[in-house]
Amino acid sequence: MNPTHREPWIRIARRDSIAAWHGWLIRLAGLLLALLVSAVVIYLIVRLNPIKVYSAMFEGNFGTNRRMWVTFRDIAMLLCIGIGLAPAFKMRFWNIGAEGQVLVGGIATAAVMIYCGKFMPTWALLIASLLASLVAGAVWGGIPAAFKARYGTNETLFTLMMNYVAIQLTSYFVAVWENPFGSNTVGIINQRTQTGWFPPLLGQKYMLNVLLVLVLTVAMFVYLRYSKHGYEIAVVGESNKTARYIGISVKRVLIRTMMLSGAVCGLAGFIAVAGASHTISTSTAGGSGFTAIIVAWLAKFNTFVMVLVAGLLVFLEKGAIQIASQYNLNDYASQMITGIILFFILGSEFFTRYRVIFRGRKGGR
Amino acid sequence: MQSGTAAVSMRDIVKAFGPVVANDKVDLDIFSGEILALLGENGSGKTTLMNILSGIYYPDAGHVSVNGREVSIRSPKDVYDLGIGMVHQHFKLVDVLTAAENIILGMPGEGNLDMKAVGRKILDICALYGFSVDPGQKVYDMSVSQKQTVEIVKVLYRGAKILILDEPTAVLTPQETEKLFRVLRNMKNDGKAIVLITHKLHEVEEISDRVAVLRRGKNAGELVTKNTDAAEMTNMMVGRAVTLNIARPEPKDPKPRIVVDRLTLRDEEGIIKLNEVSFTAYSGEVLGIAGISGCGQKELLETIAGLHPLKSGSVTYIKPETGEKIDMAGLDPREIFSLGVMLSFVPEDRLGMGLVGNMDLTNNMMLRSFRRGKSVFTDRKTPRNLARSVVDELSVNTPGLTTPVRRLSGGNVQKVLVGREISSSPTVLMTAYAVRGLDINSSYTIYDLINQQKEKGVAVIFVGEDLDVLLELCDRILVLCGGRVSGIVAGRGADKNEVGLMMTKHGKETTHESDA
């Protein structure tokens, strides 16, 4: 019966809008704070010089030419899946099935490399496996969309379960293509001839991976922002009612966009198999299909921002591995550091959207 | 102005949203045993002020006292404890629960719940003020007016002595409004303090004792109702003199434009929404559609616009130039457009259907035009120019063309939507509750736009809820009740009570068109 008479000590209010420079200032502050806090943690727990630890992380990513290109390759892979997820998420279609879409793209690529590798030249193999992976991914993405359009099924569960189907399918093909017999792996496909592998460009093994994904980054940005399809996706994502009101067929956009999303994820499988590992296993996607969800959302579907986010995630992962091995730390210590950094960077997003008002302060920003 | 301590006294209330100051040092006193009407145009800050009083917003500065004691309202729960109750325009009831269950929902208690005692207390409250509520009735079985009654009983049950009602009559028939007013008078005589937010001035004159007017976030003045009139209140709200007559030019050369014949529609559950509806809309006239909300008005317009698959009946469009008849039944909006039917539709749900709230003005203009041209890319220049000209011609108050439309006030949102819909030179214009929630100035802008279209020979179908407006604006009025046409009357000289009665009585047979 007696509400307090004092103003609350702390209040949180939504920001109406925020200037771009102000947002980036907050994010930069978050990054600096993250480095500061983890420096203290590093010093207190493992008694190491934080500066050295940070430079070791950098070493782990860019220390040698080879390492640098592996980093680029991994960023490209994660980014590619993120780009694939962008149109689905922009349409508010919860595609949790990138993992499976990558795998079926990988299976299709491996199949082309294995069955056609003997009589087709590399350029033809690349085109054939590119197309096969696109189609496989499109089908894998299109199935849950078609069910949603037709029967209103829940796409989150559906795409998630499709992942497990894809994993089982991969196990099956690993058994079929087992090489050498009894190894329970496919082995390196076309190891001697290297047919169907990405050729080195400008002397770099992974140049083609990076170039392909960069082209996709620009293309998807333009598609989502300037094309009629992109506009339809935005309208369907915001309101199905509005879409129907202006005569957009929601079902068609749903299926078309999910086929595109699946196709780009399938393409990531193509890059992973033909451009990186040259083999296929159940861990070909390796969880990237889930990590890419973070990439897509943090960047708010802006593919250029995704480059930064994917870069950060890969950098932290590789850095953690490096300090773990260089200083003989156990995994937990290095993961703690990446955890702290991620926490602050994600946390700074909160402050770009809300402001905190302390008692006695005027409500200004 | 009044002696004694105010039940609620708000002083120097300031609340800003970003650069927009919604309340700028606003004062307001609410007294027990009095009905206060809070008036103001859209964006004048009355909703913000009441939201502060009901714990939804926290003020940036200022003081609130209840019964002379300064308080800090931090949440809707504090509000109940202070004896303040708000009845929102959009009801907040759980459909599958009964009236009694909704009323006690969220209240603290220990031990066994004695629903019988709850029911008795509800009936006591009803007897005291003249409500009729069946405590055991499920909300989904209730009419709009019954739901509203439950909302009011809910706040009384919690011991509210100060009631805030946000546009309570917007959804009621004239008869139901009368009933509500009787109850409000009983509550006033019992010593409750009542704040009424409304746009309907004749209701303010009828029921309130005192009027407080806000203009652009500031106090514009206070009036004693019996010493004032609608004109003075309007002038105070707008800040200058306004005339309050809606023009109604005679229809010029009316010709059939849309013929609806025995249209029947069922929703997904198989419930009949429209039952053998037949009428003809003529060019150069405004056909009003009256009815209690949920009687099929929305479905009727949406069906004509091609948003519902048609089971039986027909919709025929007659081309003005050639007289060619086009059967529109079963076509979707895109197909209708491609047949050259220039149909514009201002739906009831402006931000959820007619516009996309998160998109800016240019992108919203594009909704209708983005398919034009063969390019795979969208043309942004034409819609941007259109947005600019709509903003200029209808004086839309917006920070810029890149502002998301949800940030605009209700009246400006509607101007954007209507502006886009009439920009395509339609031959049929359908509007659903075109002035709902709009202030006087914006409402008259919309009436003027409708009349301009009418004079251009457009067939206008105007679904409205305010009977006074329908009677002043429309050439003919079709009354819907429970999905049936209960009659079509001429707008000139129509009797308000007669139309009100038609809204509640089912037409026995399909009324076929006899006069024009």
CA A125, CA A52: separation in Å to the nearest integer?
Answer: 46
Task: Render A274-329 in DSSP notation, one character per residue.
Answer: IIIISS--TTSSTTHHHHHHHHHHHTTT-HHHHHHHHHHHHHHHHHHHHHHHHTT-
Cα–Cα–Cα angle for A229, A234, A237, rounded to 5 degrees:
120
Report chain A residues whose CB lies below 8 A from the CB of B367.
235, 242, 246
Q: How far is CA A92 from the centre of its chain?
A: 17
Nearest 5°: phi and psi at B213? -115, 130
Neighbours of B497 (CB within 10 A): 10
The closest of A335, A336, A341 to A317, measured between CA atoms, is A335
Domain ranges of chain A: 74-307
Q: Which of residues 345-364 of B touch A (CB under 8 A)?
A: 345, 347, 349, 352-359, 363
Whether residue A11 contacts residue B58, with contact meaning beta carbons closer than 8 Å, is answered with yes
CA A256, CA A248: separation in Å to the nearest integer?
Answer: 13
Report chain B residues whose CB lies below 8 A from the CB of A362.
60-61
B136 CB near a chain A CB, below 8 Å? no
B405 CB near a chain A CB, below 8 Å? no
Question: What's the confidence (pLDDT) of residue B511?
Answer: 42
CA A330, CA A333: separation in Å to the nearest integer?
Answer: 6
Question: What's the confidence (pLDDT) of residue B277?
Answer: 92
B103 CB near a chain A CB, below 8 Å? no
Whether residue A195 contacts residue A125, with contact meaning beta carbons closer than 8 Å, is answered with yes
B85, β-bridge pairs: B163
- 3-state SS, residue B57: coil
B71 CB near a chain A CB, below 8 Å? yes
Amino acid letter, residue A97 = G
A278/chain B closest Cα distance in angstroms: 37
Report chain B residues whose CB lies below 8 A from the CB of A3.
71-74, 78, 81-82
Judge: A242–B363 Cβ closer than 8 Å, yes or no. Answer: no
Q: Residue B354's closest chain A neighbor by CA?
A: A242
Report chain A residues whose CB lies below 8 A from the CB of B309.
none
Instruction: Record the pTM.
Output: 0.79
Judge: B58–A226 Cβ closer than 8 Å, yes or no. Answer: no
Judge: A1–B81 Cβ closer than 8 Å, yes or no. Answer: yes
Query: A161-168, long-range: CB within 8 Å, 24+ apart, which pairs?
Result: A162/A97, A162/A100, A162/A101, A163/A96, A163/A97, A163/A99, A163/A100, A163/A103, A163/A289, A164/A100, A165/A100, A166/A99, A166/A100, A166/A101, A166/A103, A166/A104, A166/A140, A167/A99, A167/A100, A167/A103, A167/A282
Mutate to test the interface with B, among A90, A231, A232, A361 (most CBs of B within 10 A): A231
Q: Residue B366's closest chain A neighbor by CA?
A: A231
The closest of A70, A101, A61 to A85, measured between CA atoms, is A101
A250 CB near a chain B CB, below 8 Å? no
Number of A–B residue contacts, CB under 8 Å: 91
Report chain A residues whose CB lies below 8 A from the CB of B305.
245
> How long a stretch of residues is chain B?
516
> How long a stretch of residues is chain A?
365
Nearest 5°: phi and psi at B394? -100, 10
Question: What's the confidence (pLDDT) of residue A360?
Answer: 62
Mutate to test the interface with A, among B78, B376, B384 (most CBs of A within 10 A): B376
Q: How far is CA B457 from the centre of its chain?
A: 27
Question: What's the confidence (pLDDT) of residue B509?
Answer: 41
Instruction: Kindly give, in sequence order, each residue whose CB lies less than 8 Å from that of residue B90, ignoring residues fewer than 6 positions away.
Output: none
Report chain B residues whose CB lies below 8 A from the CB of A11.
58
Report chain B residues whose CB lies below 8 A from the CB of A8.
58, 72, 74
CA B298, CA B348: separation in Å to the nearest integer?
Answer: 7
Judge: B72–A227 Cβ closer than 8 Å, yes or no. Answer: no
Judge: A242–B377 Cβ closer than 8 Å, yes or no. Answer: no
Cα torsion B44, B48, B52, B58: sign:
negative
Report chain B residues whose CB lies below 8 A from the CB of A228.
370-371, 375-378
Task: Render B445-485 in DSSP notation, one character per residue.
Answer: HHHHHHHHHHHTT-EEEEE-S-HHHHHHH-SEEEEEETTEE
Query: A157-162, long-range: CB within 8 Å, 24+ apart, which pairs?
Result: A158/A97, A159/A94, A159/A95, A159/A96, A159/A97, A159/A100, A160/A96, A160/A97, A162/A97, A162/A100, A162/A101
Judge: A247–B376 Cβ closer than 8 Å, yes or no. Answer: no
The closest of B436, B433, B495, B454 to B287, measured between CA atoms, is B454
Residues with pLDDT less than 70, chain A: 1-7, 16-17, 359-365
Whether residue A173 contacts residue A107, with contact meaning beta carbons closer than 8 Å, is answered with yes
A14 CB near a chain B CB, below 8 Å? no
- 3-state SS, residue B7: coil
- 3-state SS, residue B340: coil
Whether residue A228 contacts residue B379, with contact meaning beta carbons closer than 8 Å, is answered with no
Residue A300 half-sphere exposure toward CB, CA atoms < 13 A: 3
Structure-token match 């103001």, residue found:
B40
B367 CB near a chain A CB, below 8 Å? yes
- Average pLDDT, 10 consecutive residues per value, chain B (516 residues): 73 82 89 90 82 87 88 83 85 88 83 85 88 87 85 88 86 82 90 87 88 88 87 82 79 89 85 89 92 85 88 88 85 87 90 90 90 85 90 84 84 88 91 83 87 92 88 91 89 84 62 40
A90/chain B closest Cα distance in angstroms: 13
Question: What's the confidence (pLDDT) of residue A102?
Answer: 96
